[in-house]
Amino acid sequence: MTNTSHLKRVVITGLSVVSPVGNSIADLTEQVFGGISGIKKLDLPFTDQLTCQIAAQAQFNPADYFTKHTYSMLDRSSQMALHTSIEAIKDAKLEINEALKSRMGVYVGTGMGGAQSLEDGYIRLYKDGSNRLKPFTVLMSMYNAAASAIALEHQLTGPNQTFSTACSSSGVAIGEASRLIRHGYADVMLAGGTEALLTFGSIKAWEALRTLAEEDADDISASCKPFSANRTGLVLGEGAAMLVLESYEHAVARGATIYAEIAGYGAANDCLHITQPSVDGQAGSMQAALKDSGLAADAIQYINAHGTGTKLNDVTETNAIKKVFGTHAYDLSVSSTKSMHGHLMGAAGALEAVITTLAVNSDTLPPTINLVQPDPECDLDYVPNVSKKLDRLEYAMSNSFAFGGTGAALILKKLN
């Protein structure tokens, strides 16, 4: 048996979001746990050229937070990531002194990086006929731009990496950041994800995949229906979420308020198909997280599911949960908050990790809204339509799965 006595405990002390369901933890809590959808008619200049007319947009204006000099050199994805990093540090009441700078790093997940800046360059070249691009096009569109901007802002000289594993990117980023702290390579990490892919080209590409949800005829906000018999697909979203992770010793020494502990992390690749989800692959991530935590499967009370609302994923994830948890699958609760905030792709895992942290902290399970016609193949407790209060939520899991096959699962533990 491996000796783990030297490993450090990892806790969450700061949270921040920019999302379709609020740009503060207070607003996020009110909307997600209140079952309020952020899915609306797409409001962009090119909307009338799209087949898809719905999305989950974040109401984020960089001019409200940064000088023009700062935001003009950052893609929207980096703007949101930088803002959430600043707010997460404020939430953690963390003072970054000289001694901490080399012991604090940044891990960010993103699926498409600076997609808007890259598309703007293509439009300038191929549509407008210009022979020149903005001088910062490369720097704005590179995938590590967000993590670099965060490190520069806070002068952090510790580990700095960007993870791009499609929809599991920020779940992986958080998990790998927690490993750094556990093994003593850092004392504090900013970990999370960001995505800004509501561009004309990106949406047209997703339309071509035929995985996007149809607009609900009665209520646009109800267009994403995970685990429902009448689900039609996913809804694209945008936003960013950042968590401050610390070693337990570091957090206690400075008197930090602790939201929850990261008790386990697991990642696996299903190696089945570039887009088709696999029961074994998804189960592998959850099993790896349980092994890492040392917990029995029946310790988990709640799972924040990947739950995209596509025909294949929801049944696959349900069956993967049954494979891992056996009969206990019918005792725990599962919900998909994507029914409210849509699919933020590379940022989804981070936003859902924040929501799961809030669930553990408040003993309250967020609902899967729009679940009116249950799919007989999806027969677990999906917390339909309204949140559920528990006497005590001790352990919860947050799942992130992706095109390409990489999955990640995080286990969060209550400390208070």
Catalytic residues: 167, 306, 343
Q: What is the largest CA-CA distance in the chain?
A: 64
Q: Residue 397 in 3-state DSSP?
A: strand
Residues of the chain by 3-state class (helix, strand, coil), percent to 5: 40, 20, 40
Ramachandran area for residue 89 (φ above 0: left; ψ -120 to 50: alpha; else beta): alpha
In 3D space, the residue among 373, 235, 383 whose CA is nearest the CA of residue 304 turns out to be 383
- The whole-angstrom distance between residue 308's C-alpha and the CA centroid of its chain comes to 12
CA 13, CA 353: separation in Å to the nearest integer?
13
CA distances from 161 to 180, 193, 302, 335 (A): 12, 12, 30, 30
CA-CA-CA-CA torsion sign (216, 401, 13, 324): positive
The residue ranges of DSSP E strands in 44-176, in sequence order, are: 54-55, 104-109, 160-163
CA 129, CA 117: separation in Å to the nearest integer?
17
CA 86, CA 91: separation in Å to the nearest integer?
9
DSSP secondary structure letters along 249-298: HHHHHTT----EEEEEEEEEE--S-SSS--HHHHHHHHHHHHHHHT--GG
CA 316, CA 14: separation in Å to the nearest integer?
33
Whether residue 54 contacts residue 213, with contact meaning beta carbons closer than 8 Å, is answered with yes
Q: Which residues contact 207 (CB under 8 A, 6 or more apart)?
A: 50, 51, 52
